[in-house]
Amino acid sequence: MQGMLRMIHWGPLLALGVISCISISAIICGLQWWPIYTLGGAVNMAIFLMWDVLTLYNLFSSAVVGPGYVPLGWKPEKESDLKYLQYCNQCEGYKAPRSHHCRKCQRCVMKMDHHCPWINNCVGHRNHGSFTAFLFFAPCGCIHALAILIPAMYRAINREVSVWTNVYLDPSSGLSQDLFVVSFFSVSLSVGVTFAVGYLLYIQTFYIYYGSGREPLVQLGIKSFIGCMFAVGLAIGVIIAVGALFYIQMKSILKNETGIESWIIEKAYYRDLDEGEPEFVYPYNLGKWNNFKLVFHWKRRPELNGIWWPVIEGCDQYTFTIEQIKQKHEKKERSVEYTIQEKYAGSYFPITMGPQVCCCPPCTDEPRIAVNPGDRIVVTRWKKRWLYGDKLITDNELKSEYCGPDMGSIPFGQFHIKFINSSFIPRTRRIRGWFPRRCAVEVMNGTYEELINPSTQAESAKRKND
Ligand SMILES: [Zn+2]
Ligand SMILES: [Zn+2]
């Protein structure tokens, strides 16, 4: 039931809208163009409906079944294994190998690939197969829809040729408003459609001269014709975009690497190795066919439990998680503390910060954080105009937040606070995200006082001048 609720969201509804628009147009045209009382017509329509059913079935099943979530509060059986795993503060449990926390699902997701807005759910362990099948069947259906729509529209134009010519010649006919709509859509539709329609108008002459005159009639009013043109545009878009996604997914499935893992592997090869440390070997690549079988199978649920994974010889369950922890440490070493000088309210397009900040936003939906003068941020990622980091809060601020009168009885220990240094502690529900670079100044050793206090800065400048 909760899975079904996932479908009530702009992503799945838009996907269903696109599928319906293409299917309905193709069915209306198909029934006229190749009537189903002929054997060929019946087979053609049956195959088209099969694509439709398979696309919808896999779309629903990947949204409803979901990726599988790591149980809340999960930890490995052996206490000694805890040190190889990362802790998730939100789920208050350890992250199983290959799992990642999804901000949108608010859970740790088994073998997380990405959060997909079209299914309003994550793609991961349990729905990787059905999601990829959806990516395969949707373009198949669209190619078939184009094969029906384009010849049918061609017939329609040919049948209506005299009417169309009259319409063009006589602007006083009541259709001029429709004509405006036609030209509007022609402009806004993709270049591909414009070419297709142009080609149709060109070959129509061929049909008049060389057609047998016994071809079935396709009757489309001007509005249905626009609808079909729109469907053709959508179908071309789906074939290109979804087809590309399918290609990317298949490549990663055959390597048994999720999108997130490819990113970690790449960093693993660039990381400076400690002394005597062996080179990193990716543990989950079992060979193309075995990798394929892990995702595509006829069982209702995958055999694996989504926590432990088969690994190649010489690796163990923690080979990958240890690499992740090492990368985290290295990132922490690389991180630089900044202090905020200018207020920023957290807007995605802060107009007051100037056009350069607005025009070069980080291309991600990661959160933006509001900052105030005096705030201290540990920055881990840099863009030309933006910085990404964790906000630091002091002991006192933390105490007033968590140990005030309401929550005084809760011990610190429950929050799994990590100490960065003696006086500053990151908040347990971490505040991290992007903010404009111009708001912040890097904290240099010894100059911190000058940076947070402009008057001391002015004084020290005066001192230097003297
Ligand atoms: Zn989590
Ligand atoms: Zn998610």
Q: What is the CATH number of the domain that holds 349?
A: 2.30.30.40
* Active site members: 116
pLDDT at 181: 47
* DSSP letter (8 states) at residue 368: B
Distance from residue 307's CA to the centre of ligand 1 (Å)? 14
What pTM does this model have?
0.70
Residues spanned by the domain of 153: 2-68+110-255
- Same domain for 192 and 59: yes
**The domain boundary residue, chosen from 201, 230, 255:** 255
Q: Dihedral, CA atoms, 362, 366, 367, 372, nearest 10 degrees?
A: -40
Distance from residue 67's CA to the centre of ligand 2 (Å)? 9
- Same domain for 196 and 52: yes
Q: How open is the CA angle 427-430-384, to the nearest 5 degrees?
A: 120
Is residue 345 assigned to a domain?
A: yes
- The sign one gets for the Cα dihedral 35, 36, 38, 40 is positive
Query: How far apart are alpha carbons 330 and 143 in whole angstroms?
Result: 48
- Same domain for 456 and 351: yes
Distance from residue 63's CA to the centre of ligand 2 (Å)? 11
Distance from residue 348's CA to the centre of ligand 1 (Å)? 26
- Same domain for 357 and 214: no
Distance from residue 104's CA to the centre of ligand 2 (Å)? 5
Q: Which ligand is nearest to the CA of 107?
A: 1
Closest to 114 (Cα-Cα) out of 1, 11, 237, 5? 11
**The domain boundary residue, chosen from 255, 287, 303:** 255
Q: Which ligand is nearest to the CA of 365?
A: 2
DSSP H or E run through 230: helix 222-255
Is residue 77 assigned to a domain?
A: no
pLDDT at 131: 96
Distance from residue 120's CA to the centre of ligand 2 (Å)? 8
Total number of domains constituting the chain: 2
pLDDT at 198: 57
Closest to 103 (Cα-Cα) out of 325, 366, 321? 366
pLDDT at 390: 86
Distance from residue 109's CA to the centre of ligand 1 (Å)? 7
Is residue 353 assigned to a domain?
A: yes
Distance from residue 3's CA to the centre of ligand 1 (Å)? 19
Percentage of the chain with pLDDT > 90?
42
Strands 440-442, 336-340: pairing kind: antiparallel
Residues of the chain with pLDDT under 50: 160-187, 189-191, 203, 205-207, 400-427, 446-454, 456-457, 460, 463-464, 466
**The domain boundary residue, chosen from 255, 278, 311:** 255
pLDDT at 394: 61
* DSSP letter (8 states) at residue 445: T
pLDDT at 346: 87
DSSP H or E run through 330: helix 319-334
pLDDT at 95: 95
Please name the residue that has the structure tokens 């789906």.
238
pLDDT at 194: 52
Query: How far apart are alpha carbons 144 and 294 in whole angstroms?
Result: 30
Task: Convert the pLDDT of each residue in 375-394 to its tens digit.
Answer: 889 888 888 889 998 888 76
- Same domain for 366 and 217: no
